[in-house]
Structure 1
Amino acid sequence: MGNLTGSLKQLALQKFKKNFWGVFSLCFIVFIGFVSVFAYVFAPDNSQFANQMHLTIHSKAPGFTVNMLTVPSGFKIQQNRFDKLFFGDKNSDSEIPITDYHIKNNQLIYKEYASDGLEGVVKTIDLTQFHNVPIANYIKEKTFLFGTDKYGRDLLSRVLVGARISFFIGFVAVFISLVIGIFMGSMAGYFGGKIDVAIMWIINVTWSIPTLLLVIAITLALGKGFWQVFLAVGLTMWVEVARVVRGQIISAKEMQYVTAARALGYTHYRIIVNHILPNIMAPVIVISAANFAAAILVESGLSFLGIGAQPPMASWGAMIKDHYNYIILGKPYLALIPGFCIMSLVMAFMLIGNALRDALDVKG
């Protein structure tokens, strides 16, 4: 039996490797996951939530370049390397876009950037604020590859940091749905009778409520926030898993290996966990891939409605909400870039789900 199981796994792996779009989607998802984990390493703006605002250069086109003056705040927050790597730089140094500068009488005189042909304001600052470090170290040419949003924040950095929410909500939501769905489906399918009726009643009631409406209700009950959204989305996706597991167990519990396990006196727990579930996980894996995509879409919808991740936290859905009106104002990229990110990640999960379905189909 062990060799047979191993050979079936190897056969499924070989079939999956032959599916170009499945392998490509897996590589793409791994890449997005790596980028989302180390977002602050790749983001040009590594401040917390990539929230460094420059209102004078708002809504600039991709590739916009400007000289940026960094003014030390004098107030430093003690951060270890791990915290800075995964949660961004919490120091409050301010950045000022400038067009010209010169030094006179131990003072830095600079002209702020002004768009639309306007003349920038000339300001002065004492050089002692720069701690006797050459001023050239604080003035750098900065290029915004994706342009800037309506608050003058680097759009590329916001997209990279926002990938965390869209990516990790899939893992959290699918984990919650698997834990609840497998437990409820196993109880209903294996024991049947009144337990099955009660659980199916809960499933049908939950299923009858529109997903987005149920998520909104749970979110309002738990409060707005990062983890509340994750929990709310996960609590709405377990019904599909439970129905699939229940149907598979109803069919599997009449098989000869289950009858033999009962005859040997094995406990119900051991029969379900060690014998039935490993043989019915193929459709559960496929539906989990679909739930990944659904979780990303639901979170994006919640952020668009303003009850998802809260500002200043970056989220692809919130970015679309902030800039969807720019589509008719001649700057559609502000909404289309995060929209394309959502579409590509959802498409990748759907393609990998199709590839897993084909690979795990023993009849194929």
Structure 2
Amino acid sequence: MPTLQLPTPPPPANPAPVVVAAAAPRSPGYFVRRRLLQNRPAVAGLLFIGLCALVALLGYWILPDNSPDANRGLVQVQKSAPGLRVQILRRPRPVAPGEPTPNFLTTWLHGRPADFDEQAIAGYRFLPGTDSVLVLPYAAAHAAVPGVARRYSLAELAGRAGPTAELQKVVENQNFTIRTYWLGTDKAGRDELSRLLLGTRISLGIGLVAVLISMFLGMAVGAVAGYFGGGLDSLLLGLMTVVWSIPGIMLVIAISLALDSKGVWVSFVAVGLTMWVDVARVVRGQMLSLRSATFVEAGRVLGLPTSRLIARHLLPNMRGPLIVLATSNFAAAILLEAGLSFLGLGVQPPAPSWGLMVKEGYDLLGTRAGLWLTFLPGAAISALVLSFNLLGNGLRDAYDPKTPVG
């Protein structure tokens, strides 16, 4: 059967032009983010820093021991190995007159005082025909003197009177519990995991305060020295050289003596005041190369104030080097605080500083507990400092326009 062929319509005389949408322009920050996300070690470091920051922000709300400074210790289980499971007797603690009731904010900032006095025990049994319970002493391997079984009244433990059967259920649910020390305990019987987690707050806090102080001072001194030059530059450069030549530990000791204190906030400020010279030297060098640029000359011609010219036009052009330097200073501040606490010049007991925890473990080297009590906080310091260094290397490559974008 023959196939019917339809005629092909002629093409239009003036075909419509094909419009190709132009790609939206990309900001420099877009390429910086792309380069950073391609760097897997830097992303891993950023994720670990973010995890530590989350732990520091949540603070006492996620700690197994949420007492102030995670300082609730049980002498019966001191220097115990990781993974210890122990039974705990909790006795009601009398409330002191005028003692404030903890709220959400005070608990987040300072922890929550314990509602019970606790004691590690080996077991318990209710005495039939009586309203008492017999508590067996905890038999620690390192105990010098074995404990003696003690008898407690059910009404005393429950805090109220009632039928014996009912009091037994109340006491069993309220006053006896099983606790696991996943990372063991220190020489005072405190939970090592709680103190390690709470130590992130001090390490990140001191790094943040130190970076803010060093950035503010360093940018101010370096910008003034580099922009104005002349005798003022020579004077400020001499000041930088003098401060640069003094060891950081000596500066911290001098600042602590001047403030007559060795508290946590003094350590924060002292570490920050020792790190501004690095920032000032970088800002001064960048300012010397940018102050004769065309856009700066245009700003002077337009009559822009010097402060606005520096703050709004010159310093933003140094954002890349300053961010990289901030991450480096963050890691250096954590190491400096750990070293000062190890020497007894930084954060003071019972605050859970990682450097102080390393010192406590170091004092026990040669014993069974010395190894992990030194290794755990030391590993935490190393992991956090390594994360900041990896992030700093990634940011340095990300701000380099020669780095290819995938």
TM bin (shorter chain):
over 0.9
Q: Does 1:97 align with 2:120?
A: yes
In structure 1, the partner of 2:213 is 176
1:60 shift after superposition: 0.6
Hey, what's the Cα distance between the residues in 2 that align with 1:138 and 1:179? 53
In structure 2, the partner of 1:128 is 155
Aligned to 1:240, which of 278, 284, 296?
A: 278
1:92 shift after superposition: 5.4
Q: What whole-Å deviation, never above 9, does each CA across 1:202-252 have from its counterpart, x for those lacking one?
A: 111100001122112212322110100000000000000000000000001
Q: What whole-Å deviation, never above 9, does each CA across 1:54-97 have from its counterpart, x for those lacking one?
A: 11111111001110111111216411122213321124521100
Hey, what's the Cα distance between the residues in 1 that align with 2:142 and 2:312? 72
1:315 shift after superposition: 0.8
3-state SS of paired residue (2:303) = coil
Q: Does 1:359 align with 2:379?
A: no
Aligned to 1:270, which of 308, 311, 319?
A: 308
Hey, what's the Cα distance between the residues in 2 that align with 1:186 and 1:199? 11
Hey, what's the Cα distance between the residues in 1 that align with 2:154 and 2:242? 68
Aligned to 1:86, which of 109, 122, 133?
A: 109
Q: Does 1:341 align with 2:377?
A: no
AA aligned to 2:90 is T
Q: What whole-Å deviation, never above 9, does each CA across 1:98-130 have from its counterpart, x for those lacking one?
A: 012223433332122121286432123333332
Which sections of structure 2, spanning at least 5 residues, go unmatched?
A: 1-23, 161-166
The worse-fitting range, judged by mean Cα deviation, of 118-127 and 133-142 is 118-127
AA aligned to 1:204 is T
Hey, what's the Cα distance between the residues in 1 that align with 2:137 and 2:71? 20
Hey, what's the Cα distance between the residues in 1 that align with 2:91 and 2:116? 6
Aligned to 1:324, which of 362, 365, 372?
A: 362
The worse-fitting range, judged by mean Cα deviation, of 127-136 and 272-281 is 127-136
Hey, what's the Cα distance between the residues in 2 that align with 1:121 and 1:288? 58
CA contact under 8 A between 1:37 and 1:86: conserved in structure 2?
no
Which sections of structure 1, spanning at least 5 residues, go unmatched?
A: none
3-state SS of paired residue (2:72) = coil
AA aligned to 2:367 is L
Q: Report 1:129-208 matches (<5 A).
A: 129=156, 130-132=158-160, 134-136=170-172, 137-208=174-245
Aligned to 1:65, which of 63, 76, 85?
A: 85
Hey, what's the Cα distance between the residues in 1 that align with 2:150 and 2:347? 37
TM-score norm. by structure 2 comes to 0.86
Hey, what's the Cα distance between the residues in 1 that align with 2:73 and 2:383? 28
AA aligned to 2:136 is K
AA aligned to 2:132 is Q
The worse-fitting range, judged by mean Cα deviation, of 157-166 and 67-76 is 67-76
Aligned to 1:219, which of 247, 256, 261?
A: 256
3-state SS of paired residue (2:133) = strand
Q: Superposition RMSD on alpha carbons, in Å?
A: 1.6
CA contact under 8 A between 1:77 and 1:91: conserved in structure 2?
no
Distance 1:92 1:9, change over 3 A: same
AA aligned to 2:215 is L
Higher-Rg member (1/2):
2
1:282 shift after superposition: 1.0
Identity, in percent, stands at 42
1:165 shift after superposition: 0.5
Hey, what's the Cα distance between the residues in 1 that align with 2:237 and 2:325? 19
Hey, what's the Cα distance between the residues in 1 that align with 2:292 and 2:245? 30
Q: What whole-Å deviation, never above 9, does each CA across 1:260-280 have from its counterpart, x for those lacking one?
A: 111111110111011111111
3-state SS of paired residue (2:364) = helix
In structure 1, the partner of 2:30 is 10
Aligned to 1:302, which of 340, 344, 348?
A: 340
